[in-house]
Structure formats: C-alpha cells, structure tokens
C-alpha cells in the first residue's frame, strides 16, 4: 500500500513510561498515538520520512531505559518514543541521497513513521534474496557483533574448544556457526529444550545444553569440555562466567559481549573467582561492534555470501504489529524469544 | 668464610607445617634442623651444592601452601622445606657448567645449603656493581614480571594515565618507574603513609595515596584521575578492582598480576561491576612472567642498564637470618614490608 505524500496521519508510537531498575517489563512501555504527522520531509531540512517495517529488540536497549549517564549510551527520555535499529522504507525525502522506495536500515523510532534528521545513522539496503528483516539481525548489528567478536576478539584457531552462552540468540547463533566453519568444537547453552534442539539440529553446534536443568554449571561444563574451554563468548554473566573461569584453559579468551543475566545495576552478582585469570593467563575483553565499523563492508560480503551459499542459517522470532513491541522486548530478558527478536510493524 | 668440602653440617631449614586456608601466618612455618648434610655434590649426580645467600618472599608462594592441585603451581609437601627463588653461591659441583664460587639465582630451598638436581632452574649471575640480592628482585622474577606486564600486556602509550596498586611492592615499584620513563602519568596506592612518601619522593610517582585512609576508593580514584585511568596494573583485587572499573577509560587495559587482598579461596570478594568491561571496551588480561622467558635477556640488559644509569631505584626490605623467613613471608600479606622482601641467610 503506497503512502499518500502530504497526508496527515495518526502515528502510533511505543513510549517509555519511566526509568526502570531491574529487568524490563512489558508495562514499562505503552502504545500511544503520537502527534498527528504529515507524511512529508520538511523542505530544506535534509531529512527524509520513513515507514518502519521491522524493529529490532536488542538487550543493550535496557541500558537506555535507566537514569544512568555514565555509559556510552544516552538514556531515553521518559514519555518519548523508544529508539532502536530498524528496517524502513523511504516515503518522502528532502535528501538527495535517499529517494522514495529506498529500503534503509539503521537507527529509527518505535513508531509507524519516523522523520530521519540524521541520515548518517542509516544505510541503504540493496534488496536481493536476503529477507529484509535480516538487516537488523544476521546482517545488522547483532550479526556484526558476532563477526567482530569472534574474529577480532576471540583470536580463534582451528580445533579450539568454543563455548557460547545465550547461544540461540541473535548474536550467539552466528558465533557458533562461524566457529564451526572455522574448524572449532562448539557447545552452546540456552534456556529451553526447544532451543537446545535447534542448536544441535538446525544450527550445527556439536553439543548444547539447557542451563536451567543444570544444578551445577561447573559439572556441566566439565562434561561438555573435558579438556577445558579455549574461547568463551560471554552473553550472560553471573554464575555462568564463574563456571567458565573454573574450566577455561591456559591462554583462554573471553569475549565479553553481554551480561544479560545481570538485570540490576544496584545488586548484580559478584564474580568471586577472577583469580583464575592470572593462573590461566586469560584475556577477558569487552567490545562493541561500533569500534569496528571499518570491517562492516567485509562482514556484509562474507556473511551475506555464506548465507547465500546455504552455509549459514538464521533463526528469527517475529512478533506482528507495533503493539507487540513491549512484550517482545521484555521477553528477551526471560528468554521467551527463539532466535533474533524482531517486531514487524508493516510488511512493506 | 669458606666451606670445607665433605664436612658434615647441620642444615637449618624452614618447613611448612601444614596446608593453610586464609592469609599465611608466621606460625604456619617453623625452623628445623634438617638431616645432617655432607657438603658435597654426589659423584655422577650432575648436581651441585649451594650455600643460600638471599631468599625471596613472593606472594605467589601462598598458592603452594594450599592443598589445591588445579593450578600451574604444585603444592608444597607439609613437613618439607619451603622452596622459592634465591641467590646462592656454589660450594661444590658435579656439574661441569657450575663451579665453586659461582653465584647463581633461581629456584632453591629455604635452608642454609641446598643440593640442586635441576640446574636448569638456576642461572649464573655475573657479579658487577649490582647488589646480589637484586637478582631476586629488580633483576629477578618480580622485576621481570613488572617488565613484561607493563610492556607486553598494558600496551602503554605516552601520556597514558597509569594506576598501580601495591605500588611500593617488589613489582609495583618498577612498573611505576617504567611507566614514568615511558612518559605516562603515574599514581600508586599503598597501605602506609611512609610508603606513600617513598612513592612520591623516592620512586618518582606523580601521586600516591594510602588506600587505608580512603573510605571511598571510587572517590579517591576520581580525585587522582579526573580524566579516568588508561592502564591499571592490578596487584590487589577486590574493592580496588571494583573502584578501578568505575574509573577506567574507554579502551582501558588491566594487567592482572596479582590479587593479594584475596586471601581465601573459599570466600573471596565478588566483583560486581564487570559490566564496565563491555561499555568501556576494556581488555583485562592475566599473565605470568614465565610465558615470556624469551624476553629475559633483553630485560636484564634494559633494566640493568637503567639501574646503572641511575634512572631506576629499587627498594628492598631485608630481614636477617633464615629464622626470620616465616615472619618476613607472612608480613607480605599485611603489607609489613617496604619494598621487595628479602631474607638474608648469609652475606657470602
């Protein structure tokens, strides 16, 4: 359905109600009608107007829901629209580099239409056989995070023993597959038997286990890694990190991508066995994909090509309708999603 | 006084009484007369007999006093003589590479005389203007730890803000001086005002503070590092590490050398804010000098030369007599020592 330029529409939006402390809940956000919006980019603004198609639910967004200004992420403003990565279609443009019909991915609002004043925060997508929603998943920030985390931080070698937590998630599932293609032995952890099944039977992990069914994570890791772990791709923090420190090998590497189990900034679980970092000479390194943007073109080429050759699979969990956004986002923190969580606002 | 070859002597020894759990105490060890010892290396053994001159008190030795076999260090045997680094003089030799009168440094026993069956664990020292005891300090394992930790792990750049904990200790005092020579801004922490004074007025640190007088370590670090910390040379662990994680800069490096504050393996303090590793993209890396032995000749040359040029100072705390060993060693864990703790068994 084409948009009629200049028409004034209601613009449904997802609003953050107020700052949060613990894990995000569906009720922390609400659907509202925004101000009436004219489907037009103001003349002379250099802006363009997009219709949002797919919105990305990413754990990092929790950090913007807190009243904490010491991070690289600026907090959302309570009462204002939530922002995040999305795939959108240009409806009207006052910017010569973007024209109506262009598909773009990048930074947008959790709303039906967004007026984009910072075009540098989006890039054009050349539609081909790759599903559009993948540009916020496999070929978007999560996929790129997996790519730079694995190749640039983990220093992988053939035959390394690799452990990935939150392994069926947006990032983890690609890390595991890249590690397999690299010749590593790969085990993933996840929180349901269905996810464990997908890891083993669809994503090609050598082994996988449900951490919720393991009363003793140390024992579980010893079972799956009798020779120890060379590389840990850290997505969860807390007890799993402690168990890994007991099982990491000499000169092991821990790429710290996320710590999704640590919901609260005021009382996170302490890691009590960091001493292993010395005795095993471990390198533990946090990273953000945004430090590696020079590698993005190579990533798109590499991973896009692997996908087209059928060497890589990507699991998505798509919830329908903007109104499903708060529930979909909150679900990330209880592991409700199976694969990359996407909100479909409109199909085209 | 020369030794009479073949004479049978009493050989005083320091014995570990039993395995320990918390911080080592003087009473965990005791002075005993060993078996009578003939001052002779058995014919055909390839061994050599040394008279121990200086013994090194190093925090890592605590790990060998525990009944824990999962480390790179094998536990001592209760009832047997304590081992460690020392500087010794060869008395009699059945090994063609060592002859009486040679000065050696390396692995020996906490006793008056040791029969060395593993000559590869010691190296000959060429006596010159450098004090012999420095071969277990400035030019021994602690100095080499400082050297590889700073240059190989910290990735230092001119003008970096460098923080060193346990800064007047055997390792820390050299890290700070190397960092100053590298053009960094260097602050150290220590546990007495006398040590703080030495750091500022003798070792050339830009600033230093007594952590025991700082009820709020975060506030202290903010005062000394208003722009944040680029490099933290970690010797203590616990609360200081948490405070550093609050003040580390983007792309900061933490070289984890020791965690001397974490006395007990059963209940160490948990680090609750590791999340900063991600947001600030921190590299935290444990290391052991023994992984870098190929750099030892360069280290000897570099640091020996800096010392001879007067560009480096080294503080030692020498306790007299083998019998002072247990007390000197235990003192490491309450910070009693000022500078490198050495036990002088004999002057020549």
DSSP per-residue string spanning B311-335: -----EEEEESGGGHHHHHHHGGGT
Average pLDDT over residues A309-334: 97
- Looking at every residue in chain B, the average pLDDT score rounds to 95
pLDDT in tens, A38-95: 999 999 999 999 999 999 999 999 999 999 877 778 999 999 999 999 999 999 999 9
- Residue A163 neighbours by CB under 8 Å, 6+ apart: A186, A187, A188, A189, A221, A224, A225, A229, A231, A232, A233, A244
Distance to chain B for A256, nearest Cα, Å: 6
Q: From CA B286, how far away is CA B257, in angstroms rounded?
A: 6
Distance to chain A for B74, nearest Cα, Å: 12
- Which residue matches tokens 């490198």? B340
CA–chain centroid gap for A74, Å, is: 18
Please determine, for residue B269, whether its predicted confidence score (pLDDT) is greater than 90. Answer: no
Please determine, for residue B47, whether its predicted confidence score (pLDDT) is greater than 90. Answer: yes
Residues of A with CB under 8 A from a CB of B: 63, 71-73, 237, 241, 250, 256-259, 262, 265, 267-288, 291
- Which residue matches tokens 């692997």? A306
* Residue A165 with chain B: CB contacts under 8 Å: none
Closest alpha carbon within chain B to A289: B281
Distance to chain B for A289, nearest Cα, Å: 10
Three-state DSSP class for B142? Answer: helix
Is the CB of A268 less than 8 angstroms away from the CB of B262? no
Helices (H) and strands (E) in chain B, counts: 8, 17
Closest alpha carbon within chain B to A60: B279
Banded pLDDT at B107 (limits 50, 70, 90): very high
With vertex at residue B115, the alpha carbon angle to CA B145 and CA B132, rounded to the nearest 5 degrees, is: 45
Q: Work out the burial of residue A67: count CB atoms within 10 Å of its CB; fewer than 13 is exposed, 13-18 middle, 19 or more buried.
A: exposed
Distance to chain A for B54, nearest Cα, Å: 26
Three-state DSSP class for B55? Answer: strand
Domain ranges of chain A: 8-137+315-344, 141-290
Q: From CA B123, how far away is CA A18, in angstroms rounded?
A: 67
Q: From CA B226, how far away is CA B156, in angstroms rounded?
A: 19
Long-range pairs for A99-104: beta carbons < 8 A, 24 or more residues apart = A103/A53, A103/A127, A103/A132, A103/A135, A104/A50
Residue (of B8, B11, B103) closest to B48 by Cα position: B103
Hey, what CATH topology would domain B141-290 get?
Rossmann fold (3.40.50)
Instruction: Give yes or no for a contact between A88 and A52, defined as CB atoms under 8 angstroms apart.
Output: yes
With vertex at residue B179, the alpha carbon angle to CA B175 and CA B183, rounded to the nearest 5 degrees, is: 175
Q: From CA A340, how far away is CA A315, in angstroms rounded?
A: 6
pLDDT in tens, B129-177: 899 999 999 999 999 999 999 999 999 999 999 999 999 999 999 999 9
Residue (of B347, B343, B348, B346) closest to B84 by Cα position: B343
Residue B266: its pLDDT value, please?
60
Instruction: Give yes or no for a contact between B230 and B161, defined as CB atoms under 8 angstroms apart.
Output: yes
* Distance between start and end Cα atoms, chain A: 8
Instruction: Give yes or no for a contact between B16 and B78, defined as CB atoms under 8 angstroms apart.
Output: yes
Of A275, A282, A284, the CB nearest to B259: A275
Q: From CA A175, how far away is CA B135, in angstroms rounded?
A: 47
Hey, what CATH topology would domain B8-137+315-344 get?
Quinone Oxidoreductase; Chain A, domain 1 (3.90.180)
Phi/psi class of residue B56: alpha, beta or left (left: φ > 0; alpha: ψ in -120 to 50)?
beta
Residue A267: its pLDDT value, please?
61
Q: Work out the burial of residue B79: count CB atoms within 10 Å of its CB; fewer than 13 is exposed, 13-18 middle, 19 or more buried.
A: exposed
Residue (of A273, A232, A262, A247) closest to B271 by Cα position: A273
The reply to whether A141-290 shares the fold of A8-137+315-344 is: no
CA–chain centroid gap for A343, Å, is: 13
- Residue B211 neighbours by CB under 8 Å, 6+ apart: B165, B189, B190, B191, B217, B220, B240
pLDDT in tens, B206-242: 999 999 999 999 999 999 999 999 999 999 999 999 9
Banded pLDDT at A4 (limits 50, 70, 90): confident
- Residue B336 neighbours by CB under 8 Å, 6+ apart: none
Q: How many CB atoms lie within 10 A of CB A198?
A: 22
Instruction: Give yes or no for a contact between A156 and A162, defined as CB atoms under 8 angstroms apart.
Output: yes
* Residue A291 with chain B: CB contacts under 8 Å: 281
pLDDT in tens, A115-159: 999 999 999 998 888 999 999 999 999 999 999 999 999 999 999
Helix B239-247 with B217-224: angle, nearest 10 deg: 40
Instruction: Give yes or no for a contact between B168 and B174, defined as CB atoms under 8 angstroms apart.
Output: no
Q: How many CB atoms lie within 10 A of CB A96?
A: 7
Helical spans, DSSP H, in chain B: 141-148, 172-181, 193-201, 217-224, 239-247, 276-279, 296-308, 325-331
DSSP secondary structure letter of residue B111: B
């Amino acid at each position: 359905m084409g948009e009629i330029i200049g028409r004034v529409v209601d613009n449904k939006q997802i609003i953050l109600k107020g700052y949060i402390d613990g894990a995000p809940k569906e009720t922390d956000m609400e659907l509202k009608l925004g101000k009436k919006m004219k489907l037009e980019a103001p003349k002379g603004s250099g802006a363009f107007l997009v219709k949002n198609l797919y919105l990305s639910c990413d754990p990092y967004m929790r950090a913007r829901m807190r009243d904490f200004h010491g991070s690289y992420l600026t907090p959302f403003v309570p009462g204002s629209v939530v922002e995040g990565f999305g795939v959108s279609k240009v409806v009207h443009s006052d910017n010569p580099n973007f024209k109506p019909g262009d598909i773009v991915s990048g930074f947008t609002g959790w709303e039906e239409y967004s007026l984009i004043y910072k075009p540098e925060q989006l890039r054009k997508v050349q539609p081909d056989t790759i599903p559009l929603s993948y540009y916020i998943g496999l070929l978007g920030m999560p996929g790129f995070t997996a790519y730079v985390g694995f190749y640039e931080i983990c220093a992988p070698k053939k035959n390394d023993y690799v452990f990935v937590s939150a392994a069926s998630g947006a990032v983890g599932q690609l890390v595991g597959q890249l590690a397999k293609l690299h010749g590593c032995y790969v085990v993933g952890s996840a929180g349901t038997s269905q996810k464990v099944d997908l890891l083993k039977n669809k994503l090609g992990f050598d082994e996988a286990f449900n951490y919720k069914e393991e009363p003793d994570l140390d024992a579980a890791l010893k079972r799956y890694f009798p020779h120890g772990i060379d590389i840990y791709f850290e997505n969860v923090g807390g007890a799993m990190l402690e168990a890994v420190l007991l099982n990491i090998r000499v000169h092991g590497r821990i790429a710290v991508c996320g710590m999704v189990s640590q919901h609260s900034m005021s009382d996170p679980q302490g890691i009590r066995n960091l001493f292993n970092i010395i005795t095993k000479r471990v390198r533990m390194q946090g990273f953000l994909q945004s430090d590696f943007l020079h590698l993005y073109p190579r990533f798109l080429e590499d991973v896009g090509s692997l996908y087209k050759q059928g060497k890589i699979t990507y699991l998505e969990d798509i919830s329908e309708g903007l109104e499903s956004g708060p529930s979909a986002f909150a679900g990330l923190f209880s592991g409700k999603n199976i694969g990359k969580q996407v909100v479909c606002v409109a199909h085209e």
